[in-house]
Amino acid sequence: MTDSETGTKEKVLIVDEASAGGRLDAFLAAGMPPHVSRSRVKEIIKQTGVKIGDGVCREPNYRLKEGECITIVIPEPEEAAPVAQNIPLEICHEDEHLLVVNKPAGMVVHPAAGHGEGTLVNALLYHCGDTLAGIGGVKRPGIVHRLDKDTSGLLVVAKDDKTHSGLQAQFADHGRTGPLERQYMAMVWGRFDRISGTINAHLGRSNSNRKKRAVVNPDNREAKEAITHYEVLKEFGTDANGEAIACLVACSLETGRTHQIRVHMSHIGHPLLGDQEYGKHFQTKENTLASPLRESVQAFRRQALHASVLGFEHPVTGEHMRFETPPPADFQALIDAFSI
């Protein structure tokens, strides 16, 4: 059970015949969830103790007896506050309430496992100082929405609670009834039958890889509605059948699911160039390209996706704000390689 005020969790275990005679720390560690290590269990025993029946024990090597009732209280780990780091930012707009940045590809938005430093949050904390602390949470101060690590483009960051709440409401609406506008530029494989269209396909976790997303049946308990509108901006080259090799498309989101554009485009047979997760089945197509285009495509090893347009209503001033940024140099070089 969990104490809702302290966030601590209490676990009760009964020593069976097979466990009798074993160490207390080893017994408890075997009954813990994966994120609670044996060393963490040993630390809890030494610092706060565990109850064996009505008594308290602080000896990790205590030898168990069959039938003993062991109670351990596991405190929730405290979130580590990100550190401020002097990382250059491309700022498109800044006022006392918010700022809009053009995130480079390769930068993680907020700290996570394996990415404790070098994130956009680390850079924002240095740039904004104490004014950003606590806005929207310890690990995501000011963050209203995010982009994948290898997706470049526009992000808005809140500097105060009122702005954060106002922007969150607009992003929750996804522009269906409100002023939010988000548009992405993507380079995808193949030719489209229609110049524009809408992909309406629910997304959930992939059965083959729980870190990935996939199109799933709407009846799936994890299914979430996902809608992407697309428009073909330009076709590039022709293959042996006289059809376009790739297209530059503009994608607008009506929902904001993880990896939405990448999964939707792959689902309809047009995965993004360079997408190592959702476009691997098209990598053999790279080998059919003529040189030097083939070398340019094979050197581009991130999804060709750029958040090019961001529009919203300023939560404090009420002003409609709209920003547009061209693709970064590596993305533009890919476009240029197909244009030759």
Q: Which residues are catalytic?
A: 148
Residue with tokens 């990935």: 212
Q: How far is CA 23 from CA 40, 58, 65, 69, 230, in A?
A: 15, 12, 10, 14, 61
- Give the count of alpha carbons within 13 A of 174, CB side only: 12
Phi-psi region of 49 (alpha: psi -120 to 50; beta: other; left: phi over 0): left
Q: How far is CA 119 from CA 39, 87, 124, 136, 337, in A?
A: 29, 9, 9, 16, 31
Residue with tokens 């080998």: 287
Task: Collect contacts of 336-340 with beta carbons under 8 A, ≥24 apart.
Answer: 337/292, 337/293, 337/296, 337/297, 338/187, 338/236, 338/237, 338/245, 338/246, 338/293, 339/236, 340/293
Residue with tokens 């053009």: 102
